[in-house]
Amino acid sequence: MSKFIKRFYLFLVYGFLYAPIIVLIIFSFNEGRTRGSWDGFSLIWYKKLFSDKEILSAVYHTFLVASITTVVSTIIGVLGAIGISPYRKKLRAAILGINQIPVLNPDIVMAVGLMVLYRILGLDFGLVTLILAHIAFTVPYVVLSVLPKLKQMPSSLPEAAMDLGATPSQTLTKVIIPYIKPGIFSGALMAFTLSIDDFVISFFTTGNGIETVSTLVFSMARRGINPEINALSAIMFIIVLFLLVLMNLRTEKVT
């Protein structure tokens, strides 16, 4: 009986969380514009979605920012994790504590902080500030993804490579990087997923004419009913869900 209650409670929790998303996906195929009534199955809103220049521009900016962010944050995060790993326990713990501040901080705190910093530096808000902001909040996640794999690597492995004549750069590219590749892949996937899914930081650090999918959906929702939002949100949900499943599969291999 207790097992049934636990399962029923779990079903209610997941039902409460995912029922709005399921309704959104279903009504993205609704022929009518109203959200409360079903007027028949149709792909009309998906067709309009792919012919809307404003939405296509937002999708382009979203994936452009996510791609650049993923590459840069992965490089910085991997090098940072490799640099942190040899430190003594207390110093490493202190650095990791600083690294985790952006992870534990509410997004709004980092968003406002970056906005103020850009104002002080006199930067024009736009694509560059948006990319820099995304890099700033995704690097710590890459570090946290790579460090466990570095801990699993025998310390004698790079030492043996250098004893056999490998240069430090050759040891890095031919020994360390191949060994921690699963952690790098997981960190890159996490950075990409967080970037395309972000709204708060994007909202405070972007400029006029540069919209991401999340900020565009917010602005479209304020204008009134637009069924294209349902279609766009459904597609983004499927993409993020696929990336999260892939990331979790890779994380299981790392651990």
Are 31 and 40 in contact by the 8 Å Cβ rule? The answer is yes
In this structure, the answer to whether residues 187 and 129 fall within a common structural domain is: yes
In this structure, the answer to whether residues 150 and 90 fall within a common structural domain is: yes
pLDDT for 243 = 77
How far does Cα 230 stand from its chain's mean position?
21
pLDDT for 134 = 95
pLDDT for 112 = 93
- Confirm whether 15 is domain-assigned: yes
Distance between CA atoms of residues 202 and 41, nearest Å: 34
In this structure, the answer to whether residues 91 and 35 fall within a common structural domain is: no
Are 65 and 195 in contact by the 8 Å Cβ rule? The answer is yes
In this structure, the answer to whether residues 207 and 243 fall within a common structural domain is: yes
Q: What is the pLDDT of residues 176-221, one digit of tens each?
A: 888 888 889 889 988 998 998 899 999 999 988 888 988 888 887 7
Q: What is the pLDDT of residues 9-34, one digit of tens each?
A: 888 888 888 888 888 888 888 887 76
pLDDT for 117 = 94
Q: What is the pLDDT of residues 34-46, one digit of tens each?
A: 666 777 888 888 8
In this structure, the answer to whether residues 86 and 192 fall within a common structural domain is: yes
Residue 226's SS3 state is coil
Lowest average pLDDT, out of 70-74, 141-145, 201-205, 221-225, goes to 221-225
pLDDT for 255 = 53
In this structure, the answer to whether residues 169 and 66 fall within a common structural domain is: yes
pLDDT mean over 240-248: 78
The answer on pLDDT for 224 being more than 70 is: no
**What's 123's DSSP letter?**
P
pLDDT for 1 = 59
184: Cβ contacts below 8 Å, ≥ 6 apart = 74, 78, 142, 145, 146, 177
- Confirm whether 48 is domain-assigned: no
Residue 219's SS3 state is helix
In this structure, the answer to whether residues 32 and 141 fall within a common structural domain is: no
- The tally of domains found in the chain comes to 2
CATH number at residue 145: 1.10.3720.10
- Confirm whether 47 is domain-assigned: no
10: Cβ contacts below 8 Å, ≥ 6 apart = none
In this structure, the answer to whether residues 25 and 147 fall within a common structural domain is: no
Note down the domain range covering 121.
53-254
pLDDT mean over 61-87: 92
In this structure, the answer to whether residues 137 and 224 fall within a common structural domain is: yes
Task: Provide the residue type at 11 as one letter.
Answer: F
Given the structure tokens 């029923």, which residue do they identify?
A: 8
- Confirm whether 119 is domain-assigned: yes
- Percentages (nearest 5) of helix, strand, coil residues in the chain: 80, 0, 20
What is the pTM assigned to this prediction? 0.82
Compare 71 and 225 and report the one with higher pLDDT.
71
Which among 203, 182, 226 has a CA at the least distance from the CA of 44? 226
In this structure, the answer to whether residues 58 and 8 fall within a common structural domain is: no
Q: What is the pLDDT of residues 81-126, one digit of tens each?
A: 988 888 888 888 888 888 888 888 888 999 999 999 999 999 899 9
